[in-house]
Amino acid sequence: MRITVGSRQSRLAVRQAQIVMEELKRHHPEAEISLVTMKTTGDRILNRTLGQLGGKGLFIKELDLALQEGRIDLAVHSLKDMPMETPAYFPVLACTRREDPRDVLVLRRGLENLKEGSVIGCSSLRRKLQLGALYPEAQIKNIRGNVLTRLEKLDAGEYDALVLAAAGLIRLGLEERISRFFSAEEILPSAGQGIMAVQGRPALREMAACTNDREAALEAAAERAFVRELEGGCSSPVAAHARVCGDTCRLRGLYYDEQSGEYSIGERTFNIEENDPAQAARTGRELAHELRDRYAGKS
């Protein structure tokens, strides 16, 4: 059996694909597994925000085409970079074990603390909204590029600090750059943050099952349903984070009201029944309705 795995060209994307390939090889030693990398539209255009470019789909467009043309059999993505709707003919076959989902602060080399007026590099509206409460005196400046490119810009003096996903730094072996972890209560993570998605034809679901993590799949189902119900994307600060603890799952979601400029965070805890992603998704939709209705009642 020959399986070709596709990923973006960045060092982080390649490392993530390798993690999935190692797991596939461990469970399917007879398979010949190879990697194909490609640069996506989102990687090439760095002078505009994702909202201006048209959304998260720009990071998977070329990989989707490679799947359709049969040049690759599986694609590995950061789940947080995937659109909330995926095609039925190339579904998410597995969600890998979740790495630390939190956001972190990375200071410029040689800098020990942030001062008034410090420049923090961040392009995510979700992060900007919540950073305003933590660092009201800071300047938030847009930044694009992969993790290593952003770190180069940081250490070159363009920024005093960055806010990045812990998972990416950990997978790259760059934990020592982390100056501070933000709790999920301080900055609610992006839906799917820390989870890798394995996408491909439904016929490969059984083979990819070895890379699937039960808890991550349930958490992803709840988070993505919340964001999907609110039609949140890269241009919206909508966020969600679920955590499975034993037989229950706690979901927290952030709803942003565009008219008032206010945001609200709510939560729901539900019992896990037979590892049912549909149940988790239902809870995500219910929480989204609850928060949206809260603001609808004010207008």
Alpha helices by DSSP H, the chain: 11-27, 41-44, 50-53, 61-68, 125-134, 147-153, 166-171, 205-208, 214-229, 277-296
Q: How far is CA 219 from CA 26, 45, 101, 245, in A?
A: 25, 31, 11, 11
Grouping H, G, I as helix, E, B as strand and the rest as coil, residue 131 is helix
Please tell me the distance from the alpha carbon of residue 19 to that of residue 11, in angstroms, as a whole number: 12
Q: Find residue 75's DSSP bridge partners.
A: 6, 199
Which of 43, 81, 103, 160 is an active site residue? 81
Tally of CB atoms within 10 A around 185: 9
- Both structure tokens of 95: 């969600």
Q: Find residue 121's DSSP bridge partners.
A: 141, 162
Tally of CB atoms within 10 A around 30: 6
Please tell me the distance from the alpha carbon of residue 237 to that of residue 124, in angstroms, as a whole number: 7
User: Given strand 239-245, what is the order of strands in its sheet?
Assistant: 239-245, 248-257, 262-271
DSSP 164-214: EEHHHHHHTT-GGG--EEPPTTTSPPPTTTT-EEEEE-GGGHHHHGGG--H
Residues 5 and 66 sit within 8 Å (Cβ to Cβ): no
Active site residue 81: yes
Which residues belong to the active site?
81
